[in-house]
Amino acid sequence: MRMLINVPETVVADALRGMAAAHPELTVDVEGRLVVRRDAPVAGQVGLVSGGGSGHEPLHAGFVGPGMLSAACAGEVFTSPVPDQMVRAAMAVDSGAGVLFVVKNYTGDVLNFAMAAELAEDEGVQVAQVLVDDDVAVVDSSFTAGRRGTGATLFVEKIAGALAGEGAPLERVAATARRVNESSRSFGVALSAVTTPAKGSPTFDLPPGELELGIGIHGEPGRERRPMMTSGEIADFSVNAVLDDLRPDGPVIALVNGMGATPLLELYGFNAEVQRVLTERRVPVARTLVGNYVTSLDMAGCSVTLCQVDEEMLRLWDAPVRTPALRWGR
């Protein structure tokens, strides 16, 4: 097993210790598996809490900071955090304005965040939830009931985080987060299988010369397997799958995301093909983000997420953000 780790059992703790050393602006509880803004709670602001299994970095801990998340809960690799983590996160970031849970649609996350919301409210914290379910590839899988939550999570966390930073009330932040999710669709492609530290070998079989169309971020099966395709052919298939479901009638933000092991050289080349398809389909692109943001450990591959935006959503997207993995503005 060729991995830059000590032992599989300490992978998450080691990563959190390294994050703490690199980012003093964050409070990192290694034992409790929590990452919190050091200035939390921020008076008058809704707190945003998300989380999920580790292995998708920078999602979620890399998005903690001004303009985005208030706290993130880290589960073990590809395993949901537990309700106690979520409750402690909510308590840490609640200023009295309430807390929004951003939940990807995976069974463990959904159940545990729902339980945490009840427990937090017993402690006097007002909690709202938004479920992210943007993946158009398949409905129902080994991890979900309904559509999986993938790249739109970044859009929800950024736009809702900016609105919370303006002091908007919980009801409005939650409604905007849901509107972002409803306006977003994603599709992913795997060029190689993913290897988890605990297993030490690929979690599924993807023969050389084949790819999986519609893969999930845990290695869940997609729509179909095909012989290797060119970047342009993959863009044709992926973008059209998203557009045929989303059917945008206005500008979009495009996220061209790497799955963890795909170089930026390839991702930027793939983005050129994505932009070509969008131009051919006469879809105006307001903003584009390219890079590794919602990953699957060492999987080679990519995903495309499109979010149709209005003026307010685009303004909130452009608002300043300062996190380990996403930062712009002043």
pLDDT digits (tens, 9 = 90+) for 20-56: 999 999 999 999 999 999 999 999 999 999 999 999 9
Catalytic residue among 23, 33, 37, 56: 56
Establish whether domains 8-182 and 184-320 are of one fold.
no
Told to judge if 23 belongs to the known catalytic residues of this protein, a careful annotator would answer: no
- Regarding the domain delimited by 184-320, which CATH topology (the fold level of the hierarchy) does it fall under? Hypothetical Protein Tm841; Chain: A;domain 3 (3.30.1180)
Which residues in the chain land under pLDDT 50?
none
Set 218, 277, 278, 300: catalytic member:
218
| CATH among 3.40.1280.10, 3.40.50.1580, 3.40.190.10, 3.40.50.10440 for 8-182 | 3.40.50.10440
Any idea where the domains of the chain sit in the sequence? 8-182, 184-320
208-263 residue pLDDT tens: 999 999 999 999 989 999 999 999 999 999 999 999 999 999 999 999 999 999 99
Closest among 228, 217, 213, 214 to 194, alpha carbons compared? 217
Identify the CA nearest to 167 among candidates 6, 43, 56, 35: 43
Q: What does the H/E/C string look like for the chain? A: CCCCCCCHHHHHHHHHHHHHHHCCCEEEECCCCEEEECCCCCCCCCEEEEEEEECCCCCCHHHECCCCECEEEEEEECCCCCHHHHHHHHHHHCCCCCEEEEEECCHHHHHHHHHHHHHHHHCCCCEEEEEECCECCCCCCCCCCCCCCCCHHHHHHHHHHHHHHCCCCHHHHHHHHHHHHHCEEEEEEECCCCECCCCCCECCCCCCCEEEECCCCCCCCCCEEEECCCHHHHHHHHHHHHHHHHCCCCCEEEEEEECECCCHHHHHHHHHHHHHHHHHCCCCEEEEEEECCCCCCCECEEEEEEEECCHHHHHHHHCCEECCCCEECC
pLDDT reported for residue 143: 66
pLDDT of residue 1: 74
Half-sphere exposure of 272 (CA within 13 A, CB side): 8
